[in-house]
A and B are shown apart, each in its own frame.
Chain A
Amino acid sequence: MATTTFPATYALPQRSLGQLIALYAKEVKYEIVKYARIPIFALSTILFPVMFYVLFGIVMAPSGARRAETATYLLATMACYGVMGVAMFSFGVGIAMERGQGWLQVKRASPMPLPAYFLAKIANAVVFATVISLVLLAVGEAFGGVRLGFFTAAKLIAILVAGSIPFSAMGLALGYFAKPNSAPAMVNLVYLPMSFCSGLWIPIFMLPRVLQKVALVLPPYHMSQLALNAIGVNPHPSPAWGHLEPLIGVTLLFLGIAAYGYWRDEGASYG
């Protein structure tokens, strides 16, 4: 066989900056559209936190002076619960499915820049997190006597959105190790007990002492403490750094696990 020669004209085409921006915008847009059109996703991620909030924060709230206080406290923790769910489901279940069923291969075979894929997932989590926060806020203001004011509300939403980062990392790691069919169950198995034990449904100070100790090692506990501090309803406020540190640690740990899963996938066979 003759030596293979390549014509010198094989200059590889490059995308323009405008094309690159359009690409990222489309990736983000279609990711959000994709989830918004799955009724069970939109419903369960938004409806469940709202339902729990109405139940625990408004219907079962004590009457009188404590009423607004309870509704405000649970607004912060229920929003944490909702934001966590979106991050863990869209990353954990989303990636486990797309990876396990070969769709990620199709995308990786195309010239899609990999960061676009992850950015779209982050953007999706941010959009849903904001929607959940706003809906809970509206419900609290309308029926629970919550009065936050614009800047405090904005601060709360910012903390919630930033607080979704460690849970996105947890979901990402889970997505790289779970099988597509078992991923939803696995997310629930982690997410629901962790939410309860972190005091997201029932305030942490009302939980048994043992659980209060357990909560110290759970990321949602630290996220909810930051949210409670931000709106000034934490009966036992603590320095922010003590909560940021474990959250950053958890994020790095799970990003590391996800990176290992990604690296392991490179040599594995799918589809």
Chain B
Amino acid sequence: MSSAIAELTPYLNPRPAAVAHTRGLTKKYGTVTALHNVSMELRAGELLALLGPNGAGKTTLVRMLLGLASPDAGRVSVFGADPRQSSVAGRCGAMLQVGRVPETLKVREHIDLFSSYYPSPLPLAETFKIAGLAEFKDRPFGELSGGQKQRVLFGIAICGNPDLLFLDEPTVGLDVEARRLMWAQIRTLISRGKTVLLTTHYLNEADALADRILVLQQGSIVAEGTPAEIKARAIGKQVRCVTRLTAHEIRQIPGVVSVKEDRNAYELQVSVAEPVVRELLQRDSWLSELEVTNAGLEEAFLALTQNHSSNSKWSN
């Protein structure tokens, strides 16, 4: 009876089906481990953000999901097939980081060419509209500004009307205004029911766009959850105090993410403040100058990824 239920569970599960997943993915470049035992899934219609600092393995994971690199160990499946099969590419679009794009071709020509690769592309005018290319579609790529170039690469990713989009650091190097514009364009995709995998090293970008966030650090997934969950975990509180305890002793306290010495005081990143403060006061009755503040978003995210290797207590 129970086994019958277990068998039925996947069908009864209201969660959308995975359009792509990896199991135990490992990839080494020489002596560097780019990815270590990464298992993840991408569900239909969601925007999943891969969040992590530079060199965390985000691009490597994207390249393997696109079939551009082969795993050393583990499996990758996209639309139920190996992404190295060319048929899978017809349903995927990708915006990758690229050093240089042929500069003499016009925007319209680039889009026209990439549209021709797909079995059922968007009409050109539609792509120009969504990606915001109409005003400079007749200009050669080489004459465009940085933000305009990113929009062309975005246009190349969407022109084939793919179901699944990979956006690798789409807003890197953009100013605030161009970034907002790109966010609006990405939201348009979601409203059209596309599945999107976005990589970024900005927590606020993941927060603004994603349904779900995977935090990648040194090739491993160190956290997974909704933006609210990740923020709750990442942000936590900052506790500052002067104490006779050593940094090592403070680190033993459950809930302490990281400890930093600041002049004569210690600064602690903690997930929840109250139990840590209670514990601190219990261990050191001379404790003074106690301050509890909200940690900043970016700095807390940095603490989250930088200290994971030295202290993983907070991570379940």
Contacts and interface: CB of A to CB of B under 8 A. Distances in A.
A97 B100 contact: yes
Interface string A14-56: 1110010011001100100110011000000000000000000
Nearest to A109: B94
B184 interface: no
Interface in B1-54: 9-11, 13, 15, 17-18, 21, 29, 34, 41
Contact of B97 (A110, A111, A271): A271
A14 B86 CA distance: 10
A271 B96 contact: yes
Interface residue range, chain A: 35 or more
A63 interface: no
Interface residues of B, number: 54
B89 A3 contact: no
Instruction: Pick the most buried of A7, A15, A27, A109: most chain B CB atoms within 10 A of its CB.
Output: A109
B109 A102 contact: no
Given A2-B13, A7-B17, A12-B88, A271 B98 contact: yes
A100 B99 CA distance: 8
A269 B29 contact: yes
A101 interface: yes
Given A4-B17, A102-B100, A23 B94 contact: no
Interface string B98-141: 11111011000100111011111000000000000000000010
A19 B96 contact: no
Interface in B68-88: 68-70, 77, 79-81, 86-88
A113 interface: yes
Contact of B21 (A4, A38, A100, A269): A4
A235 interface: no
Nearest to A266: B70
B91 A13 contact: yes
A33 B13 contact: no
A33 B41 contact: no
A10 B85 CA distance: 14
A101 B99 contact: yes
A113 B11 CA distance: 37
A6 interface: yes
B56 interface: no
Contacts of B63: 105, 269
A156 to B, nearest CB: 31
Given A2-B10, A102-B98, A271-B96, A38 B119 contact: no
Nearest to A100: B99
Given A2-B15, A19-B116, A12 B87 contact: yes
Contacts of A15: 90, 119
B102 A103 contact: yes
B109 A12 contact: no
Contacts of A155: none
A10 B80 contact: yes
Contact of A108 (B10, B68, B99, B156): B68
26 contacts: A2-B9, A3-B10, A6-B18, A6-B80, A12-B79, A14-B119, A23-B117, A30-B109, A34-B105, A102-B97, A102-B98, A103-B98, A103-B100, A103-B102, A105-B63, A106-B98, A108-B68, A109-B92, A109-B94, A110-B114, A110-B156, A111-B86, A111-B119, A271-B97, A271-B98, A271-B99
Top 8 nearest A-B pairs (CB, nearest first) are: A101-B99, A37-B104, A111-B89, A102-B98, A109-B94, A101-B100, A13-B119, A6-B80
